[in-house]
Structures are given as structure tokens and as C-alpha cells.
Structure 1
């Protein structure tokens, strides 16, 4: 059985999007050139939690390599 290698940048971007969707309820991280769609009010605690989750994901990835 052969395993395909995952593109590290694509995997990283997918994880970042997943965190943003779960923590901030965003549809996309792409710029849509609309203030209503591109700017959000976000609680500091939510930002901290998302950053902590991203940090832990990076720590786990580094430990696996």
C-alpha cells in the first residue's frame, strides 16, 4: 500500500481554516473585499483560545517529525 505525502502548506492552511471556523464561525479566510465580510469583532478570550490551539497543533506536529 502506498501513502501519498500531504503538502505541508496545504495541511497547515486546512488546520488554520478549521480552527477559524470552529472558534470564530467564519466561512472562509479569503479576503472578500467587503468590510462586512472581512472584519469581525472577536473576544480576546476567543483569540487566545484559537492561538493556543494552533500552538498545540504545531507542537504536536514538531514532536512527530
Structure 2
């Protein structure tokens, strides 16, 4: 089963698109942005999920890096 949260590759201008179950929830420029998107989606302990591959898939680039591609 695929992870429900995907943090996509860094964009050419910086930041990473974040989707939850295929729905775009925003453009993150750091982990705090991702945590806020997940909190708004009803995941209060979101920070603990960022390094759990069952929950989060980091596509392209290194995890936790948001600089321009």
C-alpha cells in the first residue's frame, strides 16, 4: 500500500508540493509547513510521521530538503 502523504520533488523555485491521498494541500518550504498541513488534515502528531515510510513518501531529492531543484 502506498503512503497516504507524498512530499513531491523540490520545485525549480524552491518548496515542495504536499499531497494527502492525492489531494494537494499546499507548497511546503520547510518541515514546519508540512506539519501544519497535516495538522489541518487532522493529524495532530504529524511531526512524528515525517520519517515513517508507511505514512510519508519523499519523492525526488533528499527528505527534509526544500531548496530549489
Q: Greater relative contact order: 1 or 2 (C-alpha under 8 angstroms, separation 6 or more)?
A: 2
Question: Do Structure 1 and Structure 2 share a fold, with TM-score over 0.5?
Answer: no
Give the structure with the higher percent helix: 1
**TM-score, normalisation: structure 1:** 0.31
**TM-score, normalisation: structure 2:** 0.30
**Rg comparison, structure with higher value:** 1
